[in-house]
Amino acid sequence: MALLARGSRAVAKFDDPRLSALNAEAGFQDAGMRHALTSALENGEVARASYNVGAHVWVAAVLTDRALILVKGAVRAKVMRVPLPLEIVRGPAGPKKGARVRTPLGVKTLWGSNLDADMAALLAGQAGAIAEPVVRPVSVLNKVPGDAPQLVETLGEHDAVAPTIEERKVPVRLTRRERSEARRRAGKKPRRPRLQKAWGAWVGFAPPSTIWDISYNCVMCGRALSNPNSQRHRVGTDCIKRWGSQARKIRNPALTAWEDRKARAGIERIGRQVEFDAAYARQRAEHEAALTAWREVRAGRV
């Protein structure tokens, strides 16, 4: 008898009359999930059935007369609402008679309901025959006495017309096969263009800035000079004793020619760099457009 009493206490019981139908279901064993579900219900909203979601232990789905409510997590439960009509990808099939439904968590298999074993109520939600849908999610932080806080997403009641999933832009996770197909169609990611650097033409090393002034005649007496040392000092052997060395340095003409070649090479380099910059700007614009299109295809939105 003690074991039976303990087992009866383990079954989730709802005191809220809106959720009284779920007392016949076997889910919602956690108190945090039950409180999150109760907080997410709107005024006058009544639960019809609950379902297991795939192989997830801490994820459950509840079908109401207005939406499909997903409760995820036990410590910090999060509630997501899928407005009617539902997008059913595949009808009941397999040994568990599970139906594939597109949700914000992706395409999930709902199964294991005691109240809706044949999935008739879920299929009726595909046509939107249960009740009017609801609108925009608003995050509300509810604290449960004795439990950790749960983040619950509820919906406002001031809008009369409910938008569809596409209009509400609910993030829908693709299946593994759809993601693989999207990656295959997208192909490789467009490569980012690189700015080319223009290099100047090689003009050689710079020659010395000054050279010795060579004179072939003595600057003092005018006598011709044949000795290279006398030519550098610009005086003969007799005049150097009297007047001293007259050697001097002058600017190297080769340096002037080298500077002219270097200036022309710099002007040509600047012209090529301007062309590279213009081409890089065009490539950047084309790359941004190609990258945006690639992301759309890879995300499965195209």
pLDDT tens string, the chain, 302 residues long: the values are 343 344 444 454 677 878 877 877 777 767 788 888 888 888 888 888 888 888 777 788 888 888 888 888 777 888 888 888 888 888 888 777 788 888 888 888 888 888 888 888 888 877 654 433 333 343 434 444 444 444 444 444 444 444 554 454 545 678 889 999 999 999 999 999 999 999 999 999 999 999 999 999 999 999 999 999 999 999 999 999 999 999 999 999 999 999 999 999 999 999 999 999 999 999 999 999 999 999 999 988 88
Regarding whether 139 and 54 lie in a shared domain, the answer is: yes
Q: What per-residue string of b and e applies to 170-195 under the rule 16 or more CB within 10 Å gives b? A: bebebeeeeeeebeeebeeebeeeee
* Number of other CB atoms surrounding residue 88 within 10 Å: 19
Regarding whether 99 and 34 lie in a shared domain, the answer is: yes
Regarding whether 275 and 159 lie in a shared domain, the answer is: no
Regarding whether 25 and 6 lie in a shared domain, the answer is: yes
Regarding whether 262 and 162 lie in a shared domain, the answer is: no
Regarding whether 142 and 14 lie in a shared domain, the answer is: yes
Residue (of 30, 32, 62) closest to 47 by Cα position = 62
- Asked if 125 and 132 count as a contact pair (C-beta separation under 8 A), the reply is no
Regarding whether 162 and 30 lie in a shared domain, the answer is: yes
How much is the pLDDT for 151?
44
What is the domain count for the chain?
3
Q: Please, what is the angle between helix 253-298 and helix 176-186, to 10°? A: 150
The count of C-alpha atoms lying within 13 angstroms of the C-alpha of 42, restricted to the half-sphere facing its C-beta, is 23
Regarding whether 287 and 223 lie in a shared domain, the answer is: no
The residue assigned the tokens 């016949």 is: 24
69 Cβ contact partners less than 8 Å away, ≥ 6 residues apart: 37, 40, 41, 61, 62, 63, 79, 80, 81, 82
How much is the pLDDT for 119?
82
Q: Which residue segment(s) compose the domain that 75 sits in?
A: 2-173
- Asked if 71 and 60 count as a contact pair (C-beta separation under 8 A), the reply is yes
Regarding whether 113 and 125 lie in a shared domain, the answer is: yes
How much is the pLDDT for 132?
38
Regarding whether 40 and 100 lie in a shared domain, the answer is: yes
Regarding whether 200 and 60 lie in a shared domain, the answer is: no
Cα maximum dimension of the chain: 141
Q: What is the pTM of this model?
A: 0.39
Regarding whether 63 and 138 lie in a shared domain, the answer is: yes
Pairing between strand 78-83 and 150-155?
A: parallel
